[in-house]
Amino acid sequence: MLTDMDTYLFDLRGFLLLKNALSTEEVAAINAGIDRMLPLERGEWYGHVHGHSFGGGDEGLNLQQIYEGGEPFERLIDHPSWIDKVKYFVGGEGTFDYNHGPLFIDENFANVRGPGQAIGLHSGGHEGTKRTQFRFHNGRFQCGQINILMALTDIGPGDGATMVVPGSHKANLPHPEFDKYRMGSEEPSVDHVTGAIEIHMAAGDAILFVDAISHGSAKRVNPGNRRIIVFRYGPSWGSSRHGYRSSEALLNRLTPERRQIVHPQRSAAYDPDKDIALKRAANPQ
């Protein structure tokens, strides 16, 4: 349940911390699944999971399409700890944005990051990108992309925590240090960005944030690896960020609710005749 305070703070800051979003058992099952996939090189596949990196610096290894990795990953698609919150902030119920269902996941990946690695500053309200926008209009949230970033390891000082500039989803101007610390720059990390804060998490916690907030991570300095998973949710008419297609095997084994989020257009729940009839009834002319 979202409280009025959650909603207020999300609007103000652009993110919420969800404590204990995943149980110890869920985190253990996910980590065991990732252990089975590693080592994986960039460009290699483990089944339908793809070894990948964003390419803007030394950000560690991404395991793209992680929801293909088995049941512990599938349950993240509509996890009760966040799915209603995500629907609320993406919004769109009763509008064209809901044409094929409430949501679509346009990217989902695990990230494994070791010492010396980080992701530079990116995003911000000044960009005005429609896909990632923060939007509150007509008394409701209508955000383009809400991310759930789950901690699979404890992430404290020195661990390369996710960093955000609170409130920057509403920025009209670029952060003056943006170019110095952005992805692809000579110092691609958020450690020294004025106004940025580290979000420390225990394994199983998650951050819900609008992608328009300026964000990235601190550089990991501690030994060992940091592990996270990111699911990016937007309206049902979206498409895969990297052009991935979910496997038939996955689509066939998902529950109807999960399948609708992974592949809204082929949802058995969608009946075009019924949809047209409903729209005519709502808007007779």
Ligand X SMILES: O=C(O)CCC(=O)C(=O)O
Q: Does 219 bind ligand X (CB under 6 A)?
A: no
Taking CB under 6 A as the binding criterion, the range among 16-24, 33-41, 211-219, 241-249 that sits at the site for ligand X is 211-219
Nearer residue to ligand X within complex by CB, 111 or 246? 111
Bridge partners of 226, per DSSP, are 113
Nearer residue to ligand X within complex by CB, 59 or 254? 59
Nearer residue to ligand X within complex by CB, 145 or 236? 145
**3 state SS for 204-243:** CCEEEEECCCCEEECCCCCCCCEEEEEEEEECCCCCCCCC
Contact track, ligand X, 160-189, x by CB under 6 A = --x---------------------------
Task: Give the CA dihedral 112, 114, 117, 118, nearest 10 degrees.
Answer: 50
In whole angstroms, what is the distance from residue 191 CA to residue 235 CA?
32
| Residue 8 token pair | 């207020």
Nearer residue to ligand X within complex by CB, 162 or 225? 162
Per DSSP, the three-state class of 149 is strand
In whole angstroms, what is the distance from residue 108 CA to residue 76 CA?
10
Q: Does 147 bind ligand X (CB under 6 A)?
A: yes
How many residues sit in the footprint of ligand X (CB under 6 A)? Answer: 9
For ligand X, the binding residue among 65, 111, 117, 153 (CB under 6 A) is: 111
Taking CB under 6 A as the binding criterion, the range among 34-42, 88-96, 209-217, 272-280 that sits at the site for ligand X is 209-217
Per DSSP, the three-state class of 155 is strand
* Residue ranges that bind ligand X, judged by CB under 6 A: 111, 119, 147, 149, 162, 215-217, 230
